[in-house]
Structure 1
Amino acid sequence: MPIPNDYSTPVRLSAKERTLTQLQKWIVEGTLQPGEKLVDSELAEALGVSRTPIREAFQLLEVQGLIQTFPGKETRVTTLEKDDIVKLYGPLTALHALAAELAVANIQQENIEELRAINASFSECFDKEQYYQAMEFDEKFHDTILQIANNPYILTFSSSLQMHIRRYKYIFIKRPNWESQAAAKDHEAIIQALESRDVEAAASLMKHNLLRPLKNLDAML
């Protein structure tokens, strides 16, 4: 199980939080491959923590669908299943389209400026081939719209779904640059629809943006 020793350590986090964050990143990026066996003692040594935060992180990672534990046997990274991805994107798209509709009534000029700044950072990360950071800015863009919608239930359900599809999203984000440019243009179109308070367009454009990866599903898995 190759583990990099040059990873950046988040600051001001507990051992449990730091361990969870790093394992999530390694799984999403593919450092820890689908189907790979995870050995808690090796991970503990690599991260400089005891086995306790590793085991606590395992519990949360299993809830998030990133790993599968076989009691008394072993723990492995879950595989990427095409059927599961399709099932996950449906409800996620519906939630985000609804959030876009709700955000139209609440959007303020400072929100528009914030969304454009996030989208600019999203594009910049692609130019620098910082794909994991690009994914985080993409999520920040969508999460900001969810916050503007001001519906905590949408936020909660969306957060759960997002973690399940992160690995697939990362694969999509690493696709050719023209696809990343298309995603940035999608974001700008959504911003314009929100700015003009066009409910129908905001929802439609949000669906288009989120469903774009499914068009390439067969070629990517």
Structure 2
Amino acid sequence: MPIPIDFLPPARISAKEKAFNQLQRWIIDGTLMPGEKLYDAEIAEALSISRTPVREAFQLLQIQGFIETFPGRETRVTTISKKDVLKIYPPLASLQALAAEEATKVISIEQIEQLKEINQKYELSINNQQFFRSMEIDEEFHNLILDIADNPYISDFSSTLQLHIRRLKYIFLKQQLTSKNDSLKEHGLIIKSFTERDGKTASIIMKQNWLRPMEELYKVLD
């Protein structure tokens, strides 16, 4: 299992969190590829921690669906396929649509301006063909709406699903910039719906904003 030697260690946190955060990042960005075996001793040495917090991190990652453990045999990064696209996007689309509807009820003028500013950054990253940057800004846009909706259950389930979607994007579309103009327009329509206090339209557009890329990604995997 190749362990990078030039990564930046996380800030001062517990050993378990350190292992969990780093392994999750490596799995999502494809450093640790689907199906790759994980060795607790090797990871512990790379992170300068003991094997116990690494094993604890394995348990958390297994709950999230990023690794699978076969007791007494091996631990592997879970594999992913195009079928996973159709399993991950729809529930996230529904959660995000609900968040948009809830956010419409309480969003302030200042928060709407924040969303406009984020969308301007998103447009700039698209024009500059910065794929990873545009993905980060897109997540920033949606995360702000989740914060405004202020429902921890929506936020918690969404965050895990978003991590799996980011993994799909990194592995299958690494270094490739797909068209984001439709997403940019949809963001604008969502902001417009917030301004008009139209929760139903905000919900419909938000769901479309997630299901459309699902269909595009599924086609790319053909």
TM-score, normalised to structure 2, is 0.86
User: Pairwise mapping of residues 1-221 of structure 1 onto structure 2 (< 5 A)?
Assistant: 1-122=1-122, 127=128, 129=130, 131=132, 134-171=134-171, 174=174, 176-177=176-177, 179-216=179-216, 217-220=218-221
Deviations 1:59-114 (A, max 9, x none): 11111101000000000010113333312222211111111111111110121122
Sequence identity percentage: 52
Give secondary structure in 2 for the equivalent of 1:56.
helix
Deviations 1:159-209 (A, max 9, x none): 333333331143476464352444334323322221222223211211121
Distance 1:38 1:124 in 2: 39
Report if the CA contact (8 A) 2:82-2:221 is conserved: no
Distance 2:125 2:3 in 1: 24
Aligned residues: 220
Distance 1:154 1:103 in 2: 12
Q: Which amino acid aligns with 1:34?
A: P
Identify if the C-alpha distance between structure 1 residues 61 and 96 changes in structure 2 by more than 3 Å, giving closer, same or farther.
same
Report if the CA contact (8 A) 1:64-1:163 is conserved: no
Moved more, 108-117 or 161-170: 161-170
Report if the CA contact (8 A) 2:27-2:33 is conserved: yes
Gaps of 5+ in 2: none
Give secondary structure in 2 for the equivalent of 1:93.
helix
Moved more, 137-146 or 177-186: 177-186
Distance 1:117 1:9 in 2: 31
Q: Which amino acid aligns with 1:177?
A: L
Distance 1:58 1:179 in 2: 36
Identify if the C-alpha distance between structure 1 residues 123 and 6 changes in structure 2 by more than 3 Å, giving closer, same or farther.
farther
Moved more, 41-50 or 72-81: 41-50
Identify if the C-alpha distance between structure 1 residues 17 and 76 changes in structure 2 by more than 3 Å, giving closer, same or farther.
same
Give secondary structure in 2 for the equivalent of 1:68.
strand
Q: Which amino acid aligns with 1:189?
A: L
